[in-house]
Each structure stands twice: as C-alpha cells, then as structure tokens.
A = this chain, B = another copy of it.
Amino acid sequence: MTDDRPLVLSLPAPRTLELIFSPEALAKLHRRYEVHEAATLADVPDAALARARYLLGQPPVTEDALARMTALRCVFNVEGNLLDNMPYPRLFERGIHVVTTAQVFALPVAEIGLALALDLLREVTEADLAFREGREVWGLEGNRAARLLSGAEVGMIGYGELGRALHRLLQGFRPRLRVFDPWLPASVIAEAGAEPADLDTVLRQSDVVFVVAAVTSENQRFLGAPAFASMRPGAAFILLSRADVVDFDALIDAVAAGHLRAASDVFPEEPMPRDHRVRGLRGFLRSAHRAGALDLAFRRMGDMVLEDMELLDRGLPPQRCKRAERETVARMRSKPVSAN
C-alpha cells in the first residue's frame, strides 16, 4: 500500500528532529509527510530516493544519489554552515532550492552582541567583580572610562540577517551606523537606514565595531594588526560571527596594549586551551560560543521548514528560509558544526 503523502528524507545530524522541531511541529511534519530517517543517503532505498520531495539535513550527496532523487524540490540545511559536500551546480541547474535556517540565530546573537557592547562601554562585568571583592568605586569616580552607545558612531562589518537584527535592536540608540558589506549594493544599505562605507572608514571612524560577516574564502583573517591599529583608541570591538575572520593573536595584542576593548563569542579553537592568555586578559569579555545556541532558536528551525515546505508543496518558491546562492555557496568556509 502506498503512502500518498510527499516524502521527506531526514538526515539532520548532528542536529536531531527533536532539537529543531517542537513536539507540535514534529507532529505536523509527520501528519503531512512521510518521513524517512536515515544516517546516510547510502542507507536510503532507491524507491525512497525517487520519491523524496525534500531532503532535511546536510549529508554528503553524490552525483549519483542526486540523479536518483528525481522528485527533489529543496534541500533544507539546518546547520547554518554550508559544507562543500553536495554537487551544488547540479542542484541549481535542476532548480532545486538549497535553503538554510541559520537566521534563527540572528536575534539571539544580536541580543548578546548588544549586551557585550554595552558591557564594554560601561564596564558592567568589571564593576560587578570589583564590587564582589570590595574594591568598587562609587559614582562618578568609578565611571571615568564610561561612554554612551546613544549617538555613538557604530560600524558593522557584514550586513546579513545578523547585521539587520542587530541594527533593529540598536534603533532606540539612534547611532550613526556605517556598514561595510562588499556583497551588497550601497543603496540597499542606505535604504535600511545605515551608511554604506568602505572597511577602512568603518574601522577608523567607529566607537564600536561589530563583526557579523560570514567567513568566506576571501575574508579569512582579513582583520589583523593593521586593522586594529587603525581603530580609535578605546574603541570597542565585538566579534560575533566566526573567529576565522580575524587574526586572533593580533586582536589580543591590541587589547593587551590597551588600545582596544573587545568581546568575542567565537574563538580560533573551541574550547580554548586551559592556559590561553585570553582567559585572564583585562579589557576582553569572553563568551563560549553561547550567542546563538538557545533551545528556543533551534526550535524555530522546524517551524521555518514547515512553512517553506507548504509553499513548495503548492509549487511556490520558499520564502521563509534563506536560499543559498549559486555564486556564493562555494565561497563559504565555516567549519562543520560538531555539536549543537
């Protein structure tokens, strides 16, 4: 007896369906679709490959397997990183969408990004520590280095989902926001209410710089010692996307020298060595890749997937998840997600 529900191939490892779907959403998925779970595509019988309308996850896909998936409409990547493990050109040729759900992390990361920036400007963590230890300084005297975010000159490197989420959170501060994003036309940035700028201007003219750019084949370690040296003394540098876009040692040197304050949620090694000098570095605020990893964020992935499946079922293009682009998919260089 055949099932006339469309078939979803589910290989979301290292995620699990339970992580990315709420119980209600998972029930809906099973109600609407036949869900075939597998560890690798090699385990999937030809009949299921032939019927698969959606592939949920980012397993390695061979040309051969893809050729057998004749009904495939969309690959739902629920990791956020695009690995180079599928024949993307063929997917795009066939008009099969490749979409990611990474934007669920934009808001949680943006919120902690703002928290880190305000902490650096007002020394919230340092002041709390001093208070614990009985060496707090009261009032104006304890505030000599404090600055406001309102009206500050803010720079953003990258202006994707995360940058936009952060921009929205910053609205009430009415900052002067300059954005460097070489993948966007200047007018798109301007319409969003920011000033398009080159990298050098963003670095030199900002009191606070947020790095929210994805790491690509072109921007690895593009922020190094000269970049940090060009920044304003005392400026705050907040790294939210991937450690690989900066020369981390140079960043640490700039903070150690007292030139910058910095905060980072990402590190060149995760976890960092137990005795790494960043652990005791004054003027540096540390977050152990906790910015996006909220239960609530993962759970939204399943909702997004279901919304786009519903459009695709009706022959419409997906509008909820973000589509990978033929031109840029091969430039992405994030490391695989090893844990959630």
Contact = CB atoms under 8 A, between A and B. Distances in A.
Given A326-B95, A340-B139, A124 B294 contact: no
B279 A138 contact: no
Interface in A278-328: 279-280, 285-290, 293-296, 298, 303-304, 307-308, 310-311, 315-317, 319-320, 325-328
Contact of A316 (B149, B304, B317, B328): B328
Interface in A9-31: none
Interface string A45-89: 000000000000000000000000000000000000000000000
Contacts of A295: 140, 143-144
A226 interface: no
Interface stretch (A107-115, A200-208, A228-236, A242-250): A107-115
Contacts of A320: 185, 187-188
Contacts of A280: 132
A198 interface: no
A127 B286 contact: yes
A146 interface: yes
Given A118-B118, A293-B139, A107 B150 contact: yes
Interface in A197-221: none
Interface in A127-185: 127-134, 136-140, 142-144, 146-150, 168-173, 183-185
A152 B144 CA distance: 33
Per DSSP, chain A at the interface is helix
Given A131-B287, A139-B289, A317-B325, A307 B274 contact: no
Nearest to A303: B187
Contacts of A185: 304, 307-308, 310-311, 319-320
A122 B109 CA distance: 11
Q: How large is the interface on A (under 10, 10 to 19, 20 to 34, 35 or more residues)?
A: 35 or more
B290 A143 contact: yes
Contacts of A116: 124
A274 B130 CA distance: 12
Nearest to A271: B138
A227 interface: no
Nearest to A117: B115
Given A168-B172, A187-B303, A317-B325, A112 B134 contact: no
Contacts of A307: 185-188
A311 B188 CA distance: 13
Interface of A: 92-95, 107-108, 111-112, 114-116, 118-119, 121-122, 124-125, 127-134, 136-140, 142-144, 146-150, 168-173, 183-188, 270-271, 274, 279-280, 285-290, 293-296, 298, 303-304, 307-308, 310-311, 315-317, 319-320, 325-328, 339-340
13 contacts: A92-B95, A111-B118, A112-B124, A119-B125, A125-B129, A127-B288, A133-B279, A140-B293, A143-B294, A169-B172, A171-B172, A185-B310, A316-B327
What 7 pairs across the A-B complex have the smallest Cβ distances?
A115-B118, A185-B307, A131-B286, A169-B172, A136-B288, A140-B293, A185-B320
